[in-house]
């Protein structure tokens, strides 16, 4: 991938407080966690997945002063991910409590900080820094915020046509106001979501049908991925063709936290390499599968790990991820 094909996150990187629990407590109940860890999370997982596959990755979001902000910047720097905006001095970065049960499923509670109070000047700076060839990632977590949502929608709508926009609606998509969501959908080149989110947006429970319905909501030439966990994903590629199933890779999952982000980041990185959408989606399935076999949110594989997992060595393996 050349430096011209950056993955730029116009969203949030926050702290993740991850607690392993035997099972979620009933309402009003309590449960004792078996392990606790603090990581950088949110969009960090997407950026890390892209960076580990060779993409230049940039965090174009708000980050604050305090322990969580310091954690975020340290983690970004450790992965070789750049920051675009200067540190905000009027508060700390937000955090998320992620409870992971024995089945590997996760449940979130998020508390945003200064990252939810973007200014017009910051949005303008992000827009000015994006250049042709970039792949800009936008999340529903940013759009649902009262302050950030309208600013990000205006920013995305104004991006030039040689910038590819990828939108991940996230679990709170039903709470995004139409006046914020619609301009983003109108500018989206790739929409990647899980089956639950696809159902919320379309009212359709079948992921194949939901992928087709979502493509109809986007502009001409846009594509859709509906992620289906161990079953892989459904791909509605740009154009008038049908929806195809991209098989997944069965593994023993220990922690699904960040799997969707790993999928998105890998897909964008490999699209930037010039891979066809189907091949990029297959490799993204593999990256997500590897990620769930490891504990922690940012567990996406490196390029050699992905090549090995895909089961092909040497030139064949390199071609599988767009290096041949």
pLDDT (tens digit per residue) in 11-62:
999 999 989 999 999 999 999 999 999 999 889 999 999 999 999 999 999 9
pLDDT of res. 323: 47
Model pTM above 0.85: yes
Biggest CA pair distance of the chain:
56
B/e letters for 243-269, b = 16+ CB within 10 Å, e = fewer, are: beebebbeeebbbbbbbbbbbbbbbbb
Average pLDDT, the chain: 92
pLDDT of res. 178: 97
* Separation in Å, CA 89 to CA 95, 146, 153, 231: 17, 21, 25, 44
* Separation in Å, CA 230 to CA 79, 85, 149, 182, 214: 27, 37, 32, 30, 21
pLDDT of res. 320: 55
pLDDT of res. 258: 79
pLDDT (tens digit per residue) in 249-258:
989 988 777 7
pLDDT of res. 324: 47
Token readout for 177 is 């106001």
pLDDT of res. 117: 96
Residues near 314 by Cβ (< 8 Å), separated by ≥ 6?
none
pLDDT of res. 147: 97
CA distance 210 to 51: 30
Secondary structure string (H, E, C) spanning 287-307: HHHHHCCCCCCCCCCCHHHHH
Q: What are the chain's domains?
A: 7-13+42-92+113-320 (3.40.1190.20)
Report, as ranges of residue numbers, the positions in the chain whose pLDDT lies below 50.
Answer: 1-4, 313-315, 323-324
């Amino acid at each position: 991938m050349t430096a011209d094909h950056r993955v730029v996150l116009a969203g949030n990187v926050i702290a993740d407080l991850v607690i392993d629990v035997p099972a979620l407590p009933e309402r009003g109940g309590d449960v004792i966690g078996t392990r606790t860890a603090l990581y950088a999370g949110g969009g960090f997982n997407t950026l890390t997945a892209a960076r580990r596959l060779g993409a230049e990755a940039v965090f174009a979001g708000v980050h604050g002063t305090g322990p969580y902000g310091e954690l975020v910047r340290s983690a970004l720097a450790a992965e070789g991910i750049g920051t675009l905006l200067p540190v905000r001095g009027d508060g700390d970065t937000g955090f998320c409590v992620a409870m992971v049960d024995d089945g590997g499923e996760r449940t979130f509670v998020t508390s945003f900080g200064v990252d939810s109070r973007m200014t017009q000047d910051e949005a303008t700076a992000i827009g000015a820094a994006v250049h042709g060839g970039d792949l800009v990632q936008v999340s529903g977590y940013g759009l649902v915020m009262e302050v950030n949502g309208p600013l990000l929608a205006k920013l995305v709508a104004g991006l030039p046509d040689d910038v590819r926009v990828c939108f991940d609606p996230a679990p709170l998509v039903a709470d995004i106001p139409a006046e914020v969501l619609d301009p983003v959908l109108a500018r989206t080149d790739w929409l990647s979501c899980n089956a639950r989110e696809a159902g919320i947006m379309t009212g359709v429970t079948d992921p194949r049908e939901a992928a087709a319905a979502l493509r109809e909501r986007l502009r001409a030439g846009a594509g859709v991925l509906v992620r289906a966990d161990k079953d892989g994903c459904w791909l509605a590629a740009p154009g008038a063709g049908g929806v195809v199933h991209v098989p997944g890779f069965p593994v023993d999952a220990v922690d699904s936290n960040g799997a969707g982000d790993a999928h998105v980041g890998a897909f964008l990185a490999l699209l930037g390499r010039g891979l066809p959408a189907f091949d990029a989606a297959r490799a993204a399935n593999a990256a997500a599968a590897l990620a769930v076999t490891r504990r922690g949110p940012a567990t996406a594989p490196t390029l050699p790990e992905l090549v090995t997992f895909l089961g092909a060595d040497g030139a064949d393996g390199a071609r599988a991820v767009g290096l041949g």
